[in-house]
Amino acid sequence: ISTDSNAFYFNPAGPTLSELDLQFEASANQLTNNELSLGQTNFSGSEYVPKQFDLVGIHYKKGRFSFGLGYLVPYWVEVSSTFPPSLKSLKIQETGVNVSYALSDSFAIGVNGKYSQATQIQQPAASAKVEISPTITYWQWGLIYTKKRWAIGYSFSPELLWQRTISTNTLILDVAAPEKQFVGLSYFIKPDKIRLSADIISIKKIQNSVAFETYNTSNFNNDSIKSEDITFPKLGVEFL
């Protein structure tokens, strides 16, 4: 239910309800996650996530409309191995436009149009670096309804699939992102001072997998992720 440039990731309906006519936002989150095993008998090393999430956005509001431009890195992982020595990375980065419209002072709808690129880099031992970068475009939808003491918001992102095959060296990239639905709720227990909030996030089981398949058909190394449907809450409190 935020009304700032987080709309590029969470809910595209928010910016038109902002009190600001012009706004800019930049944020970065960093996470380091070291693992001794990646689930492969012939591959041991460490997993390093240099940038888990980056977002830059700017919005301009005119009347009931709001327009925005944004850049987003929702996922970036690098995997390095000492035996065998190699480096693999997967980075998803997106640019897009945001349009939101206030149907009334309380109700707004919005859409993000995103151009998304999934870049895989492979650098096995004693081999040249190979990079492939398939792209897709997709839409993300959202709505917000707000009153003086409470608000509710909803957004929907479809399941995504980036696919690319390079036949000359049989390098295959198959990356999938799950369908996601966000429901946001908030309530002021003291008007304009203390607000409680909750997000209910639903992530559908992906039909494909995030997979790396090496440049050599005789030696496939697959790193894949598949999960069940997941629904979980995020809770917060805010003092204004």
Calpha distance 38→81 (Å, rounded): 10
**pLDDT value of residue 38:** 45
User: pLDDT, tens digit, for every residue of 13-66?
Assistant: 999 999 899 999 999 988 766 554 444 444 445 555 666 789 999 999 999 999
Q: Where do we find the tokens 């227990």?
A: 189
- pLDDT score at 93: 95
pLDDT, tens digit only, all 240 positions of the chain: 888 888 998 899 999 999 899 999 999 988 766 554 444 444 445 555 666 789 999 999 999 999 999 999 998 887 776 666 677 788 899 999 999 999 999 999 999 999 999 998 877 766 677 788 889 999 999 999 999 899 999 999 999 988 877 665 556 677 888 899 999 999 999 877 899 999 999 999 886 554 555 444 444 455 555 678 999 999 999 898
Q: Write out the two tokens for 204.
A: 């559908």
Residue 92 CB contacts under 8 Å (≥ 6 apart), including other chains: 73, 74, 75, 76, 116, 117, 118, 119, 175, 177
pLDDT for residue 40: 46
Q: Which helix (H) or strand (E) holds 150?
A: strand 150-157
DSSP bridge partners of 238: 195
Predicted confidence at residue 166, as pLDDT, reads: 65
- The answer to whether 168 and 199 have CB atoms below 8 angstroms apart is no
CB-CB neighbours of 209 under 10 Å: 14
At 124, which amino acid appears?
P
The pLDDT assigned to 81 comes to 67
| CA pair distance 15, 25, nearest whole angstrom | 12
Question: Where do the DSSP E strands lie in 10-149?
Answer: 22-29, 37-40, 43-48, 53-62, 65-83, 85-102, 107-124, 130-132, 135-146
pLDDT of residue 226: 61
**SS3 per residue for 159-189:** CEEEEEEECCCCEEEEEEECCEEEEEEEEEE
Q: What is the pLDDT of residue 169?
A: 57
- What pLDDT does 215 receive? 47
Q: Which residues contact 133 (CB under 8 A, 6 or more apart)?
A: 117, 118, 119, 120, 164
